[in-house]
Amino acid sequence: MDSDHGVKGKCGAEASRRPEAGALLDLEMLRQKRSPELWRSLEDLAETPEFEDMLHREFPRHASEWPEGVSRRGFLQLASASLALAGLTGCTKQPIEKIVPYVKKPEEIIPGRPLFYATALTHEGYATGVLAESHMGRPTKLEGNPDHPASLGATDIFTQAAVLTLYDPARSQAVTQAGRPSTWEAFVAVLNAALSAQEALGGAGIRLLTGMVASPTLAAQILEARTRFPNLKWHRWDAAGRHQGRAAAQSAFGRPVEVRYDLAKADVVLSIESDALTQGPGSVRYQRDLAAKRRVRAGQPQEMSRLYCVESLATNTSTIADHRLQIPPAEVEGFVLALAQTLQVVPGAPSVPAATGAWLQAVAGDLQAAAGRSLVVAGEVLSPAAQVLVHGINQHLGNLGTTVLVTEPVEAEPVDQVASLRELVEDLKAGRVEILLTLGVNPVYTAPADLDFTAALGKAHLRIHHGLYEDETSGHCHWHVPAAHELESWSDARAFDGTVSLIQPLIEPLFDGHSAHELLALVAKSPVTAGYDVVRAHWQKQLSGDFEAQWREALLAGLLPGTGLAPAALPVDAAAVQQAAGTLAAAKPAGDGVTLCFRPDPTIWDGSLASNVWLQELPKPISKLTWDNAVIVAPATAVKLGLGQQERIELEAGGRKLAAAVWIMPGVAADTAILHLGYGRTRSGERSDGRGFNAYALRTSQALWTVSGAAIRKAGGDLYPFACTQNHHALRASDTSEPLEASREAMGPRKILRTGSVIEYRKDPTFLQDKHHKEGEAPSMYPPHEYKGHAWGMAIDLGACTGCSSCVVACQAENNIPVVGPEQVRRGREMHWLRIDRYYAGEVDNPTLHNQPVPCMQCENAPCEVVCPVAATTHSDEGLNDMSYNRCVGTRYCANNCPYKVRRFNFFRFSERESPLYRMLYNPDVTVRMRGVMEKCTYCVQRIEQAKIDAKVEEHAITPDRLKTACQQACPTQAIAFGDLNDEQWDVTRWKSDPLNYSLLEELNTRPRTTYLAKLRNPNEALGDLATGGKEEHGHS
């Protein structure tokens, strides 16, 4: 059966003398046979019919499904050929490809050196400019584009993690029809036929469902499609979009507008139920500007902006706030009205609870005093009326045009998305929809429960789903077309300020992906169909002058300069404000029961990122949960409802029920429960399916974010196994909880997280220094090591850290850090080299929160180095605490002896377990660690070495702009400074001599190279004892 050209050529001659063997092996025959050099099994050796049959089945299927009339000889020829092919190529028939080495090397490519391309990525439709790092054609890491207004060089977690989505093995890999693999050509034929049939009706039966579109090219294509089909309807639905914000802006300004902030001009900021400053469009930029206004350094003006937060759930923003007020959602709405009344934006006497009253007066006074330089930020979850009122307040304070910028909308044709989706459902139900094209959205999973989208969807005659994943919606569609990732396709999008950002591919689509542009080109029957041509053709029409030069320039920069939207001088409609005040005044107070709040998940957003394992394993800021959402309640609420940590509950809201589990956590208002969106998926991928609880099952179009009168009932059963990375044990509702105990320890006697007020700082800048233990004063028998060359060091500004976790994902991407999964996280084995510790201070019912990023301290007297029996961790002559992974035998003694617990151990084959696709993502400059090896932060030593090589080749000193650690580069607030302590040009050298600089656990005399700048707060003296700053932090409650 083997032919002469098979790998097993030697047994080929035996083919014709095959015995008539039955199922049993003939041992004697086996012995007599000339043994082939390689054989797979005894059956193979015996060449039994069963084996042949198996071969035919396993390899090219046509071999055994040959049509009638094939001779025995022909059959055998085919069988032998198939085996030969199988032996040559493994399992699949590879296309013929000619491999030619670079005869003429492309100019830019130096093997081993990455190339960076300016492109952009979108989140919620808005673009963020990035520089994508490409190693020999493989994108491996994304950095912020320093020239892009939404980034300024930093990124958020979504941008950092996007590159993992590119290689996600769960992405759909082929066009499917009813779940069976098909081809793009077949799909195009079906679509074209259906579209042609609609031409006569003007496309009355065609519906397009997308998320918010901020891509000028896509918007133009939709317009083009409408010229072909004038009756085509375009619907939009973003599950976690800014629905109420859009409605409020519409009614406040009388037309759709985009509202953005300029925090560089804001001296007093009040953030109401909002995480807009640290999450969502523009947040990277906002954080940069906010932190810059709050940075106090020795020898510079000691002015800080002041940040107030009123909220029912702790946010990243409030972790750096000067004052935080935690009240239930209904009271927050009341607070907005009272604030408007206090500021005399609307008439009426403010009525708020006594505890809130003093706060209100102080905030109002501060805002008033800083009129024109103040800013009130309303969160999307506030009711439209309250948001209108906030617009009114900002106008009243003269902030419009200074800190609040109102521009033309960034998105194309803004609509009320809830109404838009409802209209689509009605059309579907009425049978008016022939062709439904859903682009990049997953309405079966995310549509409000009351719309019953899934049932309606079935009425459309041709349902087409286009997306990165086969998801819940594709399961209900006739066709699924895999989308090309943004790193695989051409596109464009506007940033939060309107700047047009160009998206260019770094790699050919890994799978059979097609971009939305290609799909819409089909719908519009456009002559231009390729993504590149579509985008280019669009801008060729838009740009005047020398297009080629501009286009080239734009692609290099990643954006079209000067396309930002200019602020318009639009007044707030006074009548709308008064009406909003009336609405709020008439609002019923929250009744009995629990107020249930929905929020986009901090890491996987609306669920569309569920399959991204970096985001799944990233500890959610504040709660530090991974891989799951939870019904989060405050300890007081838990006591009231008799709930214990991780207990199973039944959650009932608006007549709908959901089985869930509870997570008790300080930082949530009383009688309030938080449930994040995005979990409880059923078709998102193997690793994320079935995790957590589906909030959409309770979410209705009337109550997108807040449902009052929800009920929580104990459901019994086992405890839900949440995977939390910090203090996840023994949080009993009834007694003092471990997170609080831990925080008291950290902020009290251990002085791990130091914080105080700028008022005290002005009196004595060294007031947070530990006067008893001065670093370097501990006696030593040896003179200190002298660092003649470089001496690397890092400083982290705690006052600037919002806990956004961008650094954590950046570190993971840069350093090939494996993902371990929820079971391992639960066992305390997460691998992040950089973690963000969260501590609580103050009252359990109204805590303030603090973040502390902890990478390796690179101690000068490193406890880990002394105890390693094989010298796998040693000190470099540049002060780094190096790891030699090859030498590590894995005794874990170093991790035990590390007082900062920053070492991470490969308990299993974490790296090898990953999908082979992820190997394309690996940074080739960083060793992939095997099982049994210890690993830890190295200050991105690969970047240091590269910078040193470059400096040597180019004969210059290493400059700060040429060397940044991954965490430093990603940080939106520039809270991390890194550099050579022997060189004055680096920021870090100044930070180290700042009076706020301190070492963690300095009394241990480990002399860390990573130090912290204590966190300063700028309290309002009108708020009484809070003005004394530090004291209240030293734990009571």
Partner 1 sequence: MATLDDFGPVEKPYKPPVVAPGHTPATVTDKISAVVLERTPKWWYAAFGVSFFLLMILMMAVTKLFLEGVGIWGINQPSGWGFDIINFVWWIGIGHAGTLISAILLLLRQEWRTSINRFAEAMTLFAVACAGMYPVLHTGRPWLAYWLLPYPNTMGLWPQFRSPLVWDVFAVSTYATVSLLFWYVGLVPDLATLRDRAKSKLAKIAYGVPAMGWRGSAHHWHNYEVAYLLLAGLSTPLVLSVHTVVSFDFAIGIIPGWHATIFPPYFVAGAIYAGFAMVLTLALPLRAVFGLQDFITQRHLQNMAKVMLATGLIVVYGYAMEFFFAWYSGNHYEAFMAVNRVLGPYKWHWLGLIICNAVVPQLLWIRKFRSSTFWLFFVSMFINVGMWLERFIIIPVSLSRDFLPSSWGMYSGTIWDWATFIGTMGLFLSLLFLFVRLLPMISVFEMRTLVPDAQKASSKEVAP
Distance CA 763, CA 950 (A): 46
Q: Which stretch binds partner 1 (CB under 8 A): 37-45, 291-299, 757-765, 996-1004?
A: 996-1004
Cβ neighbour number for residue 388 with a 10 Å cutoff: 31
Measured from the CB atom, the residue of 367 and 768 that comes closer to partner 1 is: 768
Among 72, 73, 180, 729, binds partner 1 (CB under 8 A): 729
Phi, psi at residue 1009, to the nearest 5°? Answer: -85, -20
Could you say whether residue 721 binds partner 1 (CB under 8 A)? no
| Interacting residue with partner 1 among 934, 963, 966, 967 (CB under 8 A) | 934
**Judging by beta carbons within 10 Å of its beta carbon (0-12, 13-18, 19+), is residue 1018 exposed, middle or buried?**
buried
Stretch that binds partner 1, among 82-90, 99-107, 374-382, 903-911 (CB under 8 A): 903-911
Determine the interface stretch with partner 1 among 219-227, 434-442, 458-466, 882-890 (rule: CB under 8 A). 882-890
Q: CA torsion sign, 724 to 728 to 732 to 735?
A: negative
Residue with structure tokens 């793009």?
184
Name which of 440 and 818 has its Cβ closer to partner 1: 818
Interaction between residue 893 and partner 1 (CB under 8 A): yes
Q: Which of 682, 702, 766, 896 binds partner 1 (CB under 8 A)?
A: 896
Please pick, from the candidates 931, 950, 960, 1027, the single residue that binds partner 1 as defined by CB under 8 A. Answer: 931
Burial 183-210 (b: 16+ CB within 10 A, else e): eeeebbebbeebbeebeeeebbbbbbbb
| Residue range at the interface with partner 1 (CB under 8 A); choices 231-239, 811-819, 895-903, 968-976 | 895-903
Does residue 870 bind partner 1 (CB under 8 A)? yes
> Residue 869 CB, nearest distance to partner 1 (Å)?
4
693 with 659: CB under 8 angstroms? yes
Contact status: 838 vs partner 1 (CB under 8 A): yes
Dist. CA 771–CA 226, nearest whole Å:
73
Q: How far is the CB of 854 from partner 1 (least distance, A)?
A: 7
Please count the residues of this chain forming the interface with partner 1, following the rule CB under 8 A.
59
Q: If DSSP codes are grouped into helix, strand and coil, which group holds residue 148? A: coil
Task: Select from 135-143, 488-496, 928-936, 968-976 the region that touches partner 1 (CB under 8 A).
Answer: 928-936
- 741 part of the interface to partner 1, by CB under 8 A: yes
Q: Is 156 exposed, middle or buried (0-12, 13-18, 19+ CB in 10 A)?
A: buried
Q: How far is CA 289 from the centre of its chain?
A: 21
- Residue 882 binds partner 1, judged by CB under 8 A: no
Q: Which is nearer to partner 1, 374 or 755 (CB)?
A: 755
One residue of 156, 472, 492, 837 binding partner 1 per CB under 8 A: 837
What residues numbered 746-775 form the site for partner 1, per CB under 8 A? 746, 749-750, 752
What one-character-per-residue DSSP string does 278-333 give?
TSSTTHHHHHHHHHHHT---TTS-----EEEEEESB--TGGGG-SEEEE--HHHHH
The nearer residue to partner 1, 436 or 752, going by C-beta atoms, is 752
- 1013 near 996, Cβ under 8 Å? yes
1034 touching partner 1, by CB under 8 A: no
- Contact string (CB under 8 A) for partner 1, positions 946-985, x = contact: ----------------------------------------
Q: Are 620 and 674 spatial neighbours (Cβ–Cβ below 8 Å)?
A: no
- Using the rule CB under 8 A, is 293 a contact of partner 1? no
Region of 60 (left: φ > 0; alpha: ψ -120 to 50; beta: rest) is: beta
> Which residue, 427, 477, 476, 418, is CA-closest to 450?
418
Is residue 863 a contact point for partner 1 (CB under 8 A)? Answer: yes
Cβ atoms 869, 816 nearer than 8 A:
no
**b/e string for 1-31 if b means 16 or more Cβ within 10 A?**
bbbeebebeebbebeeeeeebeeeeeeeeee
Of 202, 890, 960, 995, the one binding partner 1 (CB under 8 A) is: 890
Question: Hunting for tokens 């249930």 — which residue is that?
Answer: 596
Minimal distance, residue 895 CB to partner 1, in Å? 4
Answer yes or no whether residue 1012 interacts with partner 1 by CB under 8 A.
no
> Minimum Å distance from CB 621 to partner 1?
14
Question: Which of 222/1000 has CB closer to partner 1?
Answer: 1000
Nearer to partner 1, 37 or 823 (CB): 823
| Contacting partner 1 within 415-444 (CB under 8 A) | none
Residues in contact with partner 1, shown as a per-residue x/- string from 505 to 524 under the rule CB under 8 A: --------------------
Residue 39 engages partner 1 in binding (rule: CB under 8 A): no
Q: Tell me the one-letter amino acid at 246.
A: R
Angle (deg, nearest 10), helices 806-814 and 157-166: 30
Under 8 Å CB-to-CB from 260, ≥6 apart: which residues?
Answer: 282, 404, 405, 407, 496, 497
Expressed in angstroms, the distance from the first to the final Cα of the chain is 82
- Shortest distance (Å) from residue 749 CB to partner 1: 5
Considering only 18, 541, 785, 901, the residue that binds partner 1 (CB under 8 A) is 901
Q: Which residues, numbered 802-831, are part of the site for partner 1 (CB under 8 A)?
A: 824, 827-830
Q: Give 171's DSSP letter.
A: S
Shortest Å, Cβ 1000 to partner 1:
8
Question: Which of 237-245, 412-420, 574-582, 743-751 is the region at the interface with partner 1 (rule: CB under 8 A)?
Answer: 743-751
Three-state SS string over 584-643 comes to HHHCCCCCCCEEEEEECECCCECCCCCCCHHHHHCCCCCCCEECCCCEEECHHHHHHHCC
849 binds partner 1 (CB under 8 A): no
Min dist CB 34 to partner 1, Å, is 37
How many helices (H) does the chain have, and how many strands (E)?
Answer: 31, 38
What is the chain's percent helix, strand, coil content, to nearest 5? 35, 20, 50
Is residue 908 close enough to count as binding partner 1 by CB under 8 A?
yes
- The answer to whether 736 contacts partner 1 (rule: CB under 8 A) is no
CB of residue 620 to partner 1, shortest distance in Å: 15
The only residue of 177, 302, 726, 1037 in contact with partner 1, by rule CB under 8 A: 726
913 binds partner 1 per the rule CB under 8 A: no
Among 70, 730, 949, 957, binds partner 1 (CB under 8 A): 730
Sign of torsion, CA 482 487 492 494?
positive
Compute the least distance from the CB of residue 904 to partner 1, in Å: 7
Using DSSP's 3-state secondary structure scheme, residue 494 falls into strand
Q: Toward partner 1, which CB reaches closer, 780 or 959?
A: 780
Cβ of residue 294: shortest distance to partner 1, in angstroms? 24
Kindly state whether residue 745 participates in binding partner 1, applying the rule CB under 8 A: yes
The CA distances from residue 278 to 125, 285, 320, 550, in Å, are 17, 9, 11, 33
Binding residue for partner 1 (CB under 8 A) from 60, 899, 924, 995?
899
C-alpha to C-alpha distance for 966 and 939, rounded to whole angstroms: 8
- CB contact set of 355 (below 8 Å; sequence gap of 6+): none
Q: What residue ranges bind partner 1 (CB under 8 A)?
A: 726-727, 729-730, 738, 741-743, 745-746, 749-750, 752, 824, 827-830, 835, 837-839, 852, 854, 863, 866-871, 887-893, 895-897, 899-901, 903-909, 930-934, 1000-1001, 1004
